[in-house]
Amino acid sequence: MGLDDGIRAAARNPCPVCCVSAVSFTLFMLLVTSWKTLGPYKYGLLKNSVTGKVKLDEVYEPGVHMIGFWNNFLSFPSTIQTIQYSFEKPEEGVQHLTPLHLRSMDAVPIHLEVSVQYQRKKDELPDLFEQAMTSTLQENIFISNLRAELTKVMSRHIAADCWKARKQLIKEFTEACQKVLEESHATCWGLQFY
C-alpha cells in the first residue's frame, strides 16, 4: 500500500480527517479560553466556575493569566477608594453616606462630615474575602467599623473641640481610622474632617 492508496482511502472515508479536525479545533478553543484577563487597577481571586469554590492561596495582579477555561476571576479594586460621610453628593464611584450623627461628651448632637481614603491590602485579600465576598460588602464592613470607632472618639470630646482642639481631634480620628482599617485588612491613606 503506497502513498496514493492512502490518499484514495482518505478521500473515500473522510471521517478520520473530520474527527481529527474537530478534536484539534476543540482543543484549540479550550486552550484559547483558558487565558483570562484581570483588568487594570484590580486584584483577583480565582473562582472555579464548575464547583463555585474560590482559591484563597494566591492573589492575582492585573494582566493576562492562563487559569484554565473552567476558572474565572473575582475582582476587587486595588486603588485607593473613598468613603465619604457628607450632606453633598460625592463624585462618581464614591458611596453616598449621610454625615455621622454623633453626641459629644457634653451631650450636644453633632453632624460630622468626614472623608476617608483606604486601600485593600493585597496579601490580606483572602482574609477579607472570607469576611465579605464582594467589594460592596467589604466596603460596608469598613463603613460600619469606621462609624463605630469615630463615634467613640467624638464621645470623648466636647462639641467645642471641633474648632478649639481641631488638630487633636483630627489626629485621634486618623488614629482610629488606621486602627479600624488595619483590623479590617486595609490601609488608611487619609482622613479629612469638615
Predicted local confidence at residue 24, as pLDDT: 81
**Structural domain boundaries enclosing 163:** 81-193
Whether residues 139 and 166 share a domain: the answer is: yes
Does pLDDT of 10 surpass 60? no
User: What is the number of structural domains in the chain?
Assistant: 3
Higher pLDDT, 7 or 4: 4
Q: What is the pTM of this model?
A: 0.84
**Contacts with 117 (C-beta within 8 Å, 6 or more apart), sequence order:** 80, 81, 82, 188, 189, 190, 191
Average pLDDT over residues 115-133: 97
**Rounded distance, CA 54 to CA 38, Å?**
16
Does pLDDT of 75 surpass 80? yes
Whether residues 67 and 116 share a domain: the answer is: no
Residue type, 97: L
Predicted local confidence at residue 14, as pLDDT: 60
Whether residues 40 and 62 share a domain: the answer is: yes
Average pLDDT over residues 20-41: 85
Reading the block at residue 115, the C-alpha cell is: 472623608
Average pLDDT over residues 24-39: 85
**Rounded distance, CA 51 to CA 47, Å?**
8
Whether residues 96 and 180 share a domain: the answer is: yes
**Rounded distance, CA 49 to CA 33, Å?**
13
pLDDT, mean over the chain: 91
Predicted local confidence at residue 84, as pLDDT: 95
Whether residues 138 and 101 share a domain: the answer is: yes
Whether residues 61 and 19 share a domain: the answer is: no
Whether residues 66 and 98 share a domain: the answer is: no
Average pLDDT over residues 47-70: 96
Whether residues 88 and 176 share a domain: the answer is: yes
Q: Which residues of 49-69 are buried (b: 16+ CB within 10 A; e: fewer)?
A: eeeeeeeeeebbeeeebebee
